[in-house]
Each structure stands twice: as C-alpha cells, then as structure tokens.
Amino acid sequence: DLDSLDLLQFSINIEERIGVEIDADDIPAAISLADLADMIVAQRDK
C-alpha cells in the first residue's frame, strides 16, 4: 500500500496530466492503484 503522502503526490501528478481534480478525502487510505485509476477515470468522464 502507498502511504498517504505518496498517494497525494500521485494524485496531484494524475490531476496535472489529465486535468481532473481529485479530492484527497475521497481516496480511501488502502486503495489499490487499479481502484484509484478507475476512480480517476470516473471523475474525468463525469
């Protein structure tokens, strides 16, 4: 599992690349990268 700082940094990098804002409060601490990717795509497709 990623720690929260790594996850936050990862999320920020993704946001910059695809232009999707991700609320850190919406990300479960133990989320897998696959689940995080699915969540990001869902946000982007809204």
Residue 4: the pLDDT is 72
More confident residue, 46 or 35: 35
Q: Using an 8 Å Cβ cutoff, are 22 and 15 in contact?
A: yes
31: which DSSP letter?
-
Domain that holds residue 8: 4-44
Cα–Cα dist 33/31, whole Å:
7
Residue 33: the pLDDT is 77
pLDDT confidence tier of residue 17, bands split at 50, 70 and 90: confident
**Model confidence, pTM:** 0.38
Q: Is the pLDDT of residue 42 over 80?
A: yes
* Torsion sign, CA atoms 43, 28, 37, 35: negative
Q: How many residues does the chain have?
A: 46
How many separate domains does the chain show? 1
Give the list of residues 6+ apart from residue 28 with CB closer than 8 angstroms, or none: none
More confident residue, 18 or 9: 9
